[in-house]
Amino acid sequence: MDPKIVDANILVHTKMAATYNKNEPHFKPENQAVVRKHLEALRAKTGPKLLDVGCGTGFVINLAKDLFGEIHGVDITQAMLDQVDKSGGNITLHRSVAEKTPFADNTFDAASAYSFIHHLTDYAEVLKEVHRVLKPGGAFYIDLDPNKLFWQAMAAAEKSAALDKPSDIVQREIASVMHTDDRVEEEWGIPAETFNLAENYKDLQGGIDGAELRAAALKIGFKSCDVGYYWYLGQGAILHGQSAADAATVENFLTRALPASAPLFKYVRFLLVK
């Protein structure tokens, strides 16, 4: 792990901790419902002991506390851990880097990492650590990480914008993908360079390649690694401007068109089995 990346994450998330649950779009009810279904599926495949790495303010913990009998959350930023609601579940928090956790081998039935892998110096280090602490047959659910193919598509769209003006939908995604650091600097006073360090795989390495992470997971020793793509270009406009049914129809079609349609999906998720 790079100490500069660790320090950048602590700085950024200490500043954002108090309002994180209100500002981050993944806390919207419709997204929480989707993640809840993935956690239910995870619990159906595994036992009752869950490790949530990069737990932040407790997004996964809140959704999983009635599914798993024992949950351990790990995060490096104390200000984020201070926001976790530990009521209503058997929850223990640990201030620790995810690359070296305080647990024995073969401790957990399941693990999760939500909107976290892209903050790391080298995600392979965390895959190795989670593999170590999972029991044989345990599963690791990873979600809300940037799809490198989508990031590349938006970078290309921005370069071509001088010749062909993109649609409003593409313009919004270019701003989101290529210029969030500018917005964060303006709103939070966090230097763009620091924010980019904190989101290393997103802002400095241009996203996460699903095939590369899968290959790394199998090399480490996971028996399988399923890769999923979701939240296609313009899905929000269809969902809120037309209907949920229309948005689902397009999503189903694009999912059937994978892998050719992979660059149209903003995020990538994984399910690894030891």
Q: What is the mean pLDDT of residues 122-140?
A: 97
Query: Who has greater pLDDT, 174 or 218?
Result: 218
Task: Using pLDDT thresholds of 50, 70 and 90, give the confidence band for residue 34.
Answer: very high
Q: Are 96 and 102 within 8 A, CB to CB?
A: yes
Q: What is the pLDDT of residue 160?
A: 82
Q: Indicate the range of 47-56, 87-96, 185-194 predicted with least confidence.
A: 185-194
Task: Using pLDDT thresholds of 50, 70 and 90, give the confidence band for residue 215.
Answer: very high
Q: Are 247 and 211 within 8 A, CB to CB?
A: no
Give the angle subtended at the CA of 231 by the CAs of 269 and 19, to the nearest 5°: 85
Query: Who has greater pLDDT, 27 or 74?
Result: 74
Instruction: Give this prediction's pTM.
Output: 0.94
The closest alpha carbon to 176, from 25, 14, 17, 7, belongs to 25
Q: What is the mean pLDDT of residues 55-72?
A: 97
CA distance 253 to 245: 12
Q: What is the pLDDT of residue 90?
A: 94
User: What pLDDT, in 10s, does the model give residues 43-55?
Assistant: 999 999 999 999 9
User: What pLDDT, in 10s, does the model give residues 237-254?
Assistant: 998 899 999 999 999 999
Examine the pLDDT at 138 and tell me if it is beyond 80: yes
Percent of the chain with pLDDT over 90: 78
Task: Using pLDDT thresholds of 50, 70 and 90, give the confidence band for residue 162.
Answer: low
Examine the pLDDT at 166 and tell me if it is beyond 90: no
Q: Indicate the range of 57-66, 137-146, 160-169, 243-252 predicted with least confidence.
A: 160-169
Residue type, 27: F
Examine the pLDDT at 161 and tell me if it is beyond 80: no
All domains of the chain, ordered by start, with CATH? 3-146+200-232+267-273 (3.40.50.150)
- 């997971």: which residue's tokens? 217
User: What pLDDT, in 10s, does the model give residues 97-106?
Assistant: 999 999 999 9
Q: What are phi and psi of 145, to 5 degrees?
A: -120, 150
C-beta atoms surrounding 167 within 10 Å: 12
Average per-residue pLDDT for the chain: 94
Three-state SS at 198: helix
